[in-house]
Amino acid sequence: MLPVELSHAVWRLIEGQSLRYRCWDEEAVLYNDLSGATHLLGPVALCVLEALRPGPASMAALASRLLDEFEIDDASVGAELHVLLDEMSQLSLIESCPC
């Protein structure tokens, strides 16, 4: 599933965000009140944000949740999640934490 070096990486929401969103069909419009930016997200990205809302989570925990929620190939979930987390980090929605 995930390479060992990635499975221990931990991610969290950037502190202070309320991340308001509205969903329509298979998309969500999310407003980041810290940056003032609005983003169009798919259900997988929204699931990851909701998984991080209570607190930090490892990539392994996030991958497990995605496998439970969606029909994602077990062999590719790690690579796809790595790309998604990197993209959401570049949007200043999440950050890796030194936990």
Domain membership flag for residue 32: yes
The structural domain count of the chain equals 1
Domain that holds residue 40: 4-93
Domain membership flag for residue 55: yes
pLDDT of residue 4: 44
Pairing relationship of beta strands 27-31 and 38-41 according to DSSP bridges: antiparallel
Task: Answer yes or no: are the C-beta atoms of 60 and 68 closer than 8 Å.
Answer: no
Q: What pTM value is reported for the model? A: 0.86
Domain membership flag for residue 99: no
Domain membership flag for residue 98: no
The string of pLDDT tens digits covering residues 66-87 is 999 998 888 889 889 999 999 9
pLDDT of residue 26: 86
pLDDT of residue 2: 47
What gap in Å lies between CA 96 and CA 37, rounded to an integer? 20
The string of pLDDT tens digits covering residues 3-38 is 444 557 899 999 988 888 999 888 999 999 888 999
